């Protein structure tokens, strides 16, 4: 019998090459032009699950892109771990900022990844992290050390809001039944500061349209006398925060969880260096809600951000024009007890109320999701913490993150399952940005750590 310590170096090249093959497929869920690549990716993931030793695999059709399912049931009386991940990726643009093409993976060294990192769209979010689970299962199955049952559910629409998954969960409750859900789709503090994600923010996402005059106008002939929808939209957006960077939407904070002083003090113990944070992003200063630290601002507090804004002339040179319409895409990250549908409604009412009567506004809701918090006293958390202690030699720090994985709250609602978030990426891995990468060390460390979670969770559950 091989140990994981031996198995990784023996198979390292193959582990990297298989991931590189997966990363070559441009499985961009946001762009219908890549629908064929999405299907090819699902097929490759299914093949990988078969080769890892799953007894049953299946490509499950949904209203949207398919879910890849696989399972290895060794004894129905033993606990069952359901691994969730996603094989779709974000669009790679802006393309010209990539130092190597997004779907031609290469391994390059970086300051934080002296052993090299794989540069490709999806390397960290989430193909690389998802694939760690496939390789960890392969090790356990091939070496007869799988201590419990495992099911895989790898989806293809996470980056566009997992729209088909509510129905998929409802229709497959039995098949997906489990004792714990395990996900690697978040990050950790640093390679020598392991952490476990204990909170995800929720999300409300809207698109707004402001219409002024019924056609584009000459900005000299009409300028100064008519509403300019871009000026109006900018002013409306600016008014959504006050001088303390509080969000001004009435009742927005009503349900926000008040985190106790004791818990805030506990959270503040996690290492965080403001100067390094600013330097890494090349910003002169941080900015955010008065009364909260930077790490609180991106974890336990809700936000409102413009993600895109457009209208009028944006081509080469100058065109003198007052546009008829202006648009923006706005996200609100939510914290425990805030409800995305309620927040979307509050936003809509407020946005309509603050519009001057010179313009018309339209608010279109996009996908949303509920926040999630892990109980650090649970068996799942304790098993995960012990797994990190085993492979990192350090107790992991529980840390809430600012990102969202809406399916996690849905898992609890529909399947009654809790989720453990074992992320191995770093914030600097540039997910959703040009030059996304995933450390080779992190990839292998994940493969090494995951089997210990299986072992300790099974032991602690009996
Ligand atoms: N893996 C991310 C979420 C994430 C990343 C959480 C890092 C914590 C740390 C996921 O793929 C993602 O991008 N989620 C979206 C939400 C979705 C509804 C599009 C997000 O957070 O913007
Ligand atoms: Mn992800
Ligand atoms: Mn993502």
Helix (H, G, I), strand (E, B) or coil at 247: strand
Report the DSSP beta bridge partners of residue 372.
Answer: 200
Can you give the pTM of this predicted structure?
0.95
User: 332: Cβ below 6 Å to ligand 1?
Assistant: no
Beta-sheet pairing, 80-86 with 180-183: parallel
User: 155: Cβ below 6 Å to ligand 1?
Assistant: no
* Sign of the torsion angle spanned by Cα atoms 349, 355, 359, 365: negative
User: 70: Cβ below 6 Å to ligand 1?
Assistant: no
What's residue 29's pLDDT?
A: 98
**To test the ligand 1 pocket, which listed residue (89, 91, 160, 185) has its Cβ within 8 A of the most ligand atoms?**
185
Q: How far is CA 92 from CA 99, 102, 220, 431, in A?
A: 12, 6, 39, 10
User: 406: Cβ below 6 Å to ligand 1?
Assistant: yes
Average pLDDT score over the chain? 97
What's residue 426's pLDDT?
A: 97
- Distance in Å from the first CA to the final CA of the chain: 25
pLDDT, tens digit, for every residue of 267-280?
999 999 999 999 99
User: CA 193, CA 396: separation in Å to the nearest integer?
Assistant: 7
Residue 240 predicted with pLDDT over 80 = yes
Nearest-CA residue for atom 20 of ligand 1: 404
pLDDT average, residue stretch 106-135: 98
Which atom in ligand 1 lies closest to the alpha carbon of residue 205?
Answer: 18
Spell out the residues 6+ positions from residue 423 whose beta carbon is closer than 8 angstroms to its own: 129, 184, 185, 186, 187, 188, 196, 197, 401
What's residue 293's pLDDT?
A: 97
CA–centroid distance, residue 177 to ligand 2 (Å): 23
pLDDT, tens digit, for every residue of 316-336?
999 999 999 999 999 999 999
Residue 39 predicted with pLDDT over 90 = yes
User: CA 102, CA 123: separation in Å to the nearest integer?
Assistant: 10
CA–centroid distance, residue 332 to ligand 3 (Å): 16
Q: How far is CA 112 from the centre of its chain?
A: 21
CA–centroid distance, residue 281 to ligand 3 (Å): 19
What's residue 61's pLDDT?
A: 97
pLDDT, tens digit, for every residue of 277-299?
999 999 999 999 999 999 999 99
Nearest-CA residue for atom 13 of ligand 1: 159
Ligand nearest to the CA of 200: 1
User: 405: Cβ below 6 Å to ligand 1?
Assistant: yes
Nearest-CA residue for atom 10 of ligand 1: 405
pLDDT average, residue stretch 382-395: 98
Phi, psi of 65 (to 5 degrees): -80, 150
User: 387: Cβ below 6 Å to ligand 1?
Assistant: no
CA–centroid distance, residue 185 to ligand 2 (Å): 5
Residues with CB under 5 A from ligand 3 (ion): 125
pLDDT, tens digit, for every residue of 64-119?
999 999 999 999 999 999 999 999 999 999 999 999 999 999 999 999 999 999 99
Phi, psi of 456 (to 5 degrees): -70, -35
CA–centroid distance, residue 88 to ligand 2 (Å): 9
pLDDT, tens digit, for every residue of 335-378?
999 999 999 999 999 999 999 999 999 999 998 999 999 999 99
Residues with CB under 5 A from ligand 2 (ion): 125-126, 185
User: 125: Cβ below 6 Å to ligand 1?
Assistant: yes
pLDDT average, residue stretch 439-458: 98
User: 414: Cβ below 6 Å to ligand 1?
Assistant: no
CA–centroid distance, residue 204 to ligand 1 (Å): 13
What's residue 1's pLDDT?
A: 62
Q: Determine contact, residues 226/214, Cβ cutoff 8 Å.
A: no
């Amino acid at each position: 019998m091989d140990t994981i310590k031996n198995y990784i170096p023996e198979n390292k090249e193959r582990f990297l090459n298989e991931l590189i093959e997966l990363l070559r497929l441009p499985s961009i869920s946001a762009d219908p032009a890549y629908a064929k690549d999405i299907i090819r990716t699902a097929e490759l993931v299914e093949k990988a699950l078969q080769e890892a030793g799953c007894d049953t695999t299946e490509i499950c059709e949904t209203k949207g892109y398919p879910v890849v399912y696989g399972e290895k049931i060794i004894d129905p009386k033993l606990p069952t771990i359901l691994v969730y991940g996603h094989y779709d990726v974000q669009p790679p643009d802006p393309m010209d900022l990539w130092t190597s093409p997004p779907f031609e993976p290469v391994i390059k060294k970086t300051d934080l990844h002296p052993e090299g990192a794989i540069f490709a769209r999806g390397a960290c979010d989430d193909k690389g992290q998802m694939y760690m689970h496939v390789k960890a299962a392969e090790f356990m199955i091939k070496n007869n050390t799988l201590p419990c049952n495992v099911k895989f559910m790898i989806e293809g629409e996470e980056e566009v809001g997992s729209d088909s998954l509510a129905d998929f969960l409802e229709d497959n409750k039995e098949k997906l039944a489990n004792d714990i859900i395990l996900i690697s789709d978040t990050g950790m503090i640093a390679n020598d500061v392991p952490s476990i994600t204990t909170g995800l923010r929720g999300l409300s996402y809207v698109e707004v349209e402001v219409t002024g005059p019924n056609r584009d106008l000459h900005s000299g002939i009409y300028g100064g006398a008519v509403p300019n929808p871009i000026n109006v939209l900018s002013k409306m957006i600016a008014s959504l925060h006050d001088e303390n960077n509080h969000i001004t939407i009435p009742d927005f904070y009503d349900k926000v969880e008040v985190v106790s002083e004791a818990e805030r003090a506990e959270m503040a113990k996690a290492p965080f260096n403001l100067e390094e944070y600013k330097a890494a992003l090349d910003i002169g200063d941080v900015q955010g809600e008065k009364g909260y630290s930077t790490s609180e601002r991106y974890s336990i507090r809700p936000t409102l951000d413009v993600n895109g804004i457009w209208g009028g002339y944006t081509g080469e040179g100058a065109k003198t024009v007052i546009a008829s319409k202006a648009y923006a895409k706005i996200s609100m990250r939510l914290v425990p007890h805030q409800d995305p549908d309620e927040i979307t409604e509050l936003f809509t009412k407020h946005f309509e109320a603050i519009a001057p009567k010179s313009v018309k506004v339209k608010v279109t809701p996009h996908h949303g999701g509920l926040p999630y918090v892990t109980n650090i006293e649970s068996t799942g958390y304790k098993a995960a913490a012990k797994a990190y202690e085993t492979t990192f030699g350090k107790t992991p720090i529980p840390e809430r993150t600012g990102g969202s994985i809406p399916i996690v709250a849905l898992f609890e609602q529909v399947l009654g399952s809790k989720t453990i978030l074992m992320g191995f990426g770093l914030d600097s891995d540039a997910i959703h940005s040009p030059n996304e990468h995933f450390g080779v060390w992190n990839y292998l460390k994940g493969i090494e750590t995951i089997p210990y979670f299986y072992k300790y969770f099974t032991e602690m559950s009996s």
